[in-house]
Amino acid sequence: MGRCISKVKTIKSEFYLLVIKIFLYTFISTIIAYIFLMIFIIYSSNYSKSTDHYEKYLDSIENEIINNTDSILEGNLIDLNEYSNKIKGEVVDINGKHLFGDIDIIDSKVDILKYLKFNSVKDGYVYRGVPLIKDDSIKYIYILKAPFSYTVNNIKDNPYVVIVYYILLSSPIIFFIVYLFLFTRKLYKSIQKNICILIEASNNISNGNFSFKINGLNGKEFLTIQESFNIMVDELKKNIEGLSKVENERQMMISSISHDIRTPITVISGEIELINDLKDMEGFSISNSMAIIKKNCDKMINLTNNLSLIYKVENLDFLFRVQRVDLDKFLKEKRMELLSLITKKDLIIKFNVNLNKKYYILDESMLNRVIDNILFNSIRFTDSGSITLNVFDEEVSDKIYFKCIDTGKGFKDSDINTLFDAFYQNKSDKNHFGLGLYISKKIVLNYSGEIKAYNNEFNGATVEFYIRELKE
């Protein structure tokens, strides 16, 4: 994979790192923003005003009002713009009714007399009432209104300055949102890339394409998925190929069975026709035809039995018939049986038996089938020399070992890997159905054993296997 998975960041660690980055970047950016804010405040101080900036003009205005009472009563109000355009003035009677100046500085329902005692602050403005006295009585009241707060002053005077101020003041939230978007977007793209690669891989599998490998995933978790996915694809490929092989073997088996059954039937049919054609001829004997018919019937019976046995030993519920077998006696009888088959051959049959027990827990019929298949093959392909069967066991284990060595024709190198396949057939023996070694292997495997075949130093064949005793 080009890199060690243990050194690759996990999604969890990347998430934690992302959170740290967001807060760290936000903190640094906020510090910088607040430095600019301080500089901005200092710079903009020339435009700011203290809370009493306008209030300090009220005393001067009040003195001017008192000195010009008569003129004001005639409607000639003080020019407040000389002081500031932010200061407003309204002349009302003692009931709050408007007479001169700016309109609706105060509510008519408000007690006007309270403004005569001291300055009143309301909603960011300071109010002062100056009585207009004539003939020793208060005729009217001159109400003054001036801004009182710093914020209001700046909003009114310099709104853009205040906007910049609030932007800088709220910069931590702004920076947090921006960095959250940027860093999560990067993580999202990385995860999205991984998901797209996995989706593409899944589509390949659904389309029957198993000749690919996943590469380019990021993150320890995804790299683990990548490795597992590639292993899964390899296993699926092997299974598909195995199923294809099984299907090919099944088709080959059907074809072989059809051929092997058709051949003896054809021979039998031909002999029956021959008998029918020649039965009326003088001196005609059906002995030869009957012998041929019997021989081919035996072939069909043998094939049928083998096929039945294949079904039995391949069944998952296959069970051995548990027996106490005198193995030494069994082998002596088997040797005598073989000797009766080689009367016309220059062969020596040798059994070397070294067993520690008299009785073994086995299925005698299944073991007999394995030994027959192996020994009969040796007899079939060995015209002279010897056939030796070595049998021994181990005191410390439940294994029983068998080794058959002959001096016959041996196996072709090209056939070594297919000897135990169903319907394997030596081209020199067309009457052999190729099921013996296949069945033997199945039985040995069901015995929890192993079997193998190879050519020996005599240029003959060697087949050896071991089985395990059954449980009573």
Flag whether pLDDT at 396 surpasses 70: yes
* Residue 61 structure tokens: 């205005």
> 453 and 431, same structural domain?
yes
429, 383 Cβ separation under 8 angstroms? no
Least confident of 238-252, 259-273, 379-393, 432-446: 238-252
> 138 and 19, same structural domain?
no
| Residue in 361, 376, 377, 363 with CA at minimum distance from that of residue 444 | 363
Please indicate, yes or no, if residue 416 is contained in any of the structural domains.
yes
| Strand-strand pairing, 384-393 and 346-354 | parallel
| Residue in 391, 388, 428 with CA at minimum distance from that of residue 404 | 388
Residue 45 is given by DSSP the state G
Mind listing the pLDDT tens digit for each residue in 1-17?
444 444 566 777 777 78
Give the chain's end-to-end CA distance (angstroms, integer).
Answer: 52
> 372 and 452, same structural domain?
yes
The residue length of the chain stands at 472
Q: In this structure, what are the phi and psi dihedrals at residue 117, rounded to the nearest 5 degrees?
A: -85, -45
The total number of structural domains in the chain stands at 4
Cα 18 to Cα 3: distance, rounded to the nearest angstrom: 23
Please indicate, yes or no, if residue 224 is contained in any of the structural domains.
no
Flag whether pLDDT at 380 surpasses 50: yes
Across the chain, what does the average pLDDT equal?
Answer: 79
**What integer pLDDT is reported at residue 402 of this predicted model?**
97
Query: Which has more confidence, 327 or 427?
Result: 327
pLDDT band at 66 (very low <50, low <70, confident <90, very high): confident
Most confident listed range (30-44, 124-138, 349-363): 349-363
Mind listing the pLDDT tens digit for each residue in 276-323?
877 777 777 777 778 788 877 876 776 777 666 666 666 655 667 889
**What integer pLDDT is reported at residue 1 of this predicted model?**
42
Task: Give the helix/strand (H/E) hosting 334.
Answer: helix 327-339
**Amino acid (one-letter) located at 450:** E
Please indicate, yes or no, if residue 298 is contained in any of the structural domains.
yes
Cα 46 to Cα 153: distance, rounded to the nearest angstrom: 13
Flag whether pLDDT at 390 surpasses 90: yes
> 66 and 40, same structural domain?
no
Residues 163-178, mean pLDDT to the nearest whole number: 80
Torsion, Cα 60 65 71 77, to 10 degrees, reads: 80
> 458 and 355, same structural domain?
yes
Please indicate, yes or no, if residue 248 is contained in any of the structural domains.
no
Task: Give the helix/strand (H/E) hosting 336.
Answer: helix 327-339
pLDDT band at 467 (very low <50, low <70, confident <90, very high): very high
Query: Which has more confidence, 99 or 261?
Result: 99
Residue range of the domain that includes 306:
265-312
Please indicate, yes or no, if residue 178 is contained in any of the structural domains.
yes
403, 393 Cβ separation under 8 angstroms? no
Please indicate, yes or no, if residue 76 is contained in any of the structural domains.
yes
Cα 370 to Cα 318: distance, rounded to the nearest angstrom: 16
Please indicate, yes or no, if residue 375 is contained in any of the structural domains.
yes
Flag whether pLDDT at 115 surpasses 50: yes
Please tell me whether residue 231 adopts helix, strand or coil conformation: helix
**What integer pLDDT is reported at residue 351 of this predicted model?**
96
Residues 451-470, mean pLDDT to the nearest whole number: 92
CATH code for position 350: 3.30.565.10
Most confident listed range (105-114, 167-176, 277-286): 167-176
Query: For the chain, percent helix, then strand, then coil, each to nearest 5?
Result: 55, 15, 30
Mind listing the pLDDT tens digit for each residue in 126-153?
888 888 887 778 878 888 888 876 544 4
Please indicate, yes or no, if residue 113 is contained in any of the structural domains.
yes
pTM: 0.46
